[in-house]
Structure 1
Amino acid sequence: MIAAADSPATRRPCSADAASDPLTHVELTWIEKRQEDWIRFGRQAREQILDRRRRVVSFQPESQFALVRWAANDFGTFLSNIAIARAVWRGEAFQTLPSVRPGADILLSVDGWPKVERVLQAIDAVEDRGIDPADAAPDYWRHVHNRLAAGLEPRTYTAARHRAFRLRRSIAP
């Protein structure tokens, strides 16, 4: 017997390419003074320019990236958001994010310019230590998210913490 969720009427068509594509795709839009989406950090595996205002950047599974979204209308800014996410493997659980296909493991997500600015400062602080933010421990970005949600200052990402993360990752299966 076919379960309701697996019935032909509820299945979405999926091309062979989409099913076998391991990349996470992020569509970025840039409309001057209206909508500006950009990648703050992350190692792009591929980039596709759709038109003058839109492009799609893609990330390999396990890659971390930061997506900044800003939008305004005639009355001013109505959206300021940053999300730090990890690209997932096909079949792995994920959360959805606007403009991210199929989705990602969201490590951090904040709204409002004051919090976005604090996350950007945390990213700058990691870079100031000579560490690529895309290589930082995913737990650190969760820590930053939780501290900001609680109204507290995030702890500094240190070289010792980064070294411990790399060692843990090298011995973990």
Structure 2
Amino acid sequence: MGKLVWTVRETAIGPLLVMATGEGLVHVGFRADPPAAQRSVASVGRRLGTEPVEDGRALAAAAEQLDGYFAGSRTRFELPLDWSLVTGFNRRVLRELATGVPFGSVVGYQDLARRVGEPDAARAVGTAMGANPIPVVVPCHRVIESDGGIGGFGGGLEIKRALLALEGVLPAPLF
């Protein structure tokens, strides 16, 4: 597998754990206080069969792009992605999401299912969103219910609302 590096980045939505391999960004984790970050680092390391190393310098490009996104000056991530933590249908859905749903827009679970050639798989799309190892960069927060409801979000609905507000899809939270 090679080198697995990680760092924790402070953002407008709280600390994010950012992890990458030689292939690219492999994991982004919400609410990365020290105990949670250590659990996630160990878990991803086990899944990938390698020992993670803390190295913020190796993640400078990811950090810069995340900073730009949260500052409102970046609408697109241009980072290599490592899809090794996701397979099959989930990978197909997440790749479509990453390339086909731009900043400031949303897509319904059903529409995303249609886009990957599985029109009856809206629930499975929801499962794929929950399995997204690279949230924010692979924007699962942009997936909503067909009736316009916000839907679920692994990072919590307050973070989903904040990300959608940052992108101008929702009004900014009052508090």
Q: Structures share a fold, TM > 0.5?
A: no
- Radius of gyration: which is bigger? 1
TM-score range, shorter-chain basis? Answer: under 0.3
Q: TM-score, normalised by structure 1?
A: 0.26
The structure richer in strand per residue is 1
The structure richer in helix per residue is 2
